[in-house]
Amino acid sequence: MNREASVAWKGSLRVGTEPMTTESRSVLRLPLDRINWITSSFLIGTLLLTLTAVPLYLYHFGLDWFQVALFCAMFFACGFSISLGYHRLFSHITFKASWPIRLLTLVFGAAAFENSVLMWASEHRRHHKHVDHDDDPYNISKGLFHAHIGWLLFKLNADQPYDNVPDLQKDKLVCWQDRHVQWIAVVVSFGLPSLLGFLWNGWQGSLGAFLIAGVARIVVLQHCTFLINSACHAIGRQPYSTKCTARDSLLLALFTFGEGYHNYHHEFQHDYRNGVKPWQFDPTKWIIWTLSKIQLARGLRRVPAAVIQAAQRERRLV
């Protein structure tokens, strides 16, 4: 597989910054010549299967506790791997983790079908550096649809450099995952649930696990992640800063493993906590804290309370 095809498969492509020409092909103002067909087919195909094949399976075979438990297990394993691993551990280095935690988050993070951690972190660091501007991959200024999923559906330069993740390029586990992310994703997302379903209830259980814990789980989890890029820049309060569009929302935190406190995160991106108040719903920070108590995580980074309070006072004076 050549580099362009590989990058396209990983889905990092987004709307280009080059102006449309009169010769560009378009339908309903969609630039057909810049559609990332591989990524678009996967995102739309899994959604259509979730809306059609999953209801048909439930109608014919019903839903048992095993399918519900397997969906939840895969959803939380992959979801926390994105929030705890891809985001707070690898992208922002808010703490350090032992190799078993790093390996688990790399394996189950791949199963979220959100690219390799190397590509994910590179895009995310670029987002923080250029938030709300043209070089922001999921720039909310281009619209809610673009920030949510449009940036994935359309092409940009396939050779986006990894110049902002030199630290991760030195990590052997991260590089291993980047080389094999497609196969890891397929095996863990589809192969593992199907095998467990077969062991539970033969071909019927295998089909159900493939559709429910595999396909439907991917769709739900991806759109939870996408909400951070879109809704978390449009819904909620700004108690710490108005420098960018990021906002805090308890409602969104409930669907994003505690990532909904996005205004705090953009102001203090190197804090391992997003919900900094003790009562705020941030299960990811609780897991990180727990891992530190059993010696599986260390070096948890926290912004001093005085600095947080100063930011809040300054914000109230604006």
Residue 3 scores a pLDDT above 60 = no
**For the whole model, what pTM was predicted?**
0.89
Q: What average pLDDT does the structure give for the chain?
A: 90
Cα(219)–Cα(47) distance, integer angstroms:
6
DSSP state letter for 21: -
pLDDT at 155: 62
Q: What is the mean pLDDT of residues 198-226?
A: 98
The per-residue pLDDT for range 287-315, each reduced to its tens digit, is: 999 999 999 999 999 999 999 999 999 98
Q: Do residues 175 and 169 make contact, with C-beta atoms less than 8 angstroms apart? A: yes
Cα(59)–Cα(37) distance, integer angstroms:
32
pLDDT at 27: 47
Residue 174 scores a pLDDT above 90 = yes
pLDDT at 223: 97
The per-residue pLDDT for range 134-151, each reduced to its tens digit, is: 999 999 999 999 999 999
Pairing of strands 30-31, 297-298: unpaired
Q: Do residues 216 and 54 make contact, with C-beta atoms less than 8 angstroms apart? A: yes
Q: Domain coordinates of the chain in residue numbers? A: 3-16+30-237
Residue 181 scores a pLDDT above 50 = yes
**26: enclosing H helix or E strand:** strand 26-27
CB atoms within 10 A of CB 136: 23
Q: Do residues 83 and 90 make contact, with C-beta atoms less than 8 angstroms apart? A: no
Residue 157 scores a pLDDT above 70 = no
Q: What is the mean pLDDT of residues 19-48?
A: 71
Q: Which residues pair with 304 in a beta bridge?
A: none
Nearest residue to 30 (alpha-carbon basis) of 154, 209, 145, 189: 154
DSSP state letter for 230: T
pLDDT at 182: 96
More confident position, 106 or 316: 106
The pLDDT-based confidence of 161 (bands split at 50, 70, 90) is confident
pLDDT at 24: 46
The per-residue pLDDT for range 233-244, each reduced to its tens digit, is: 999 999 999 999
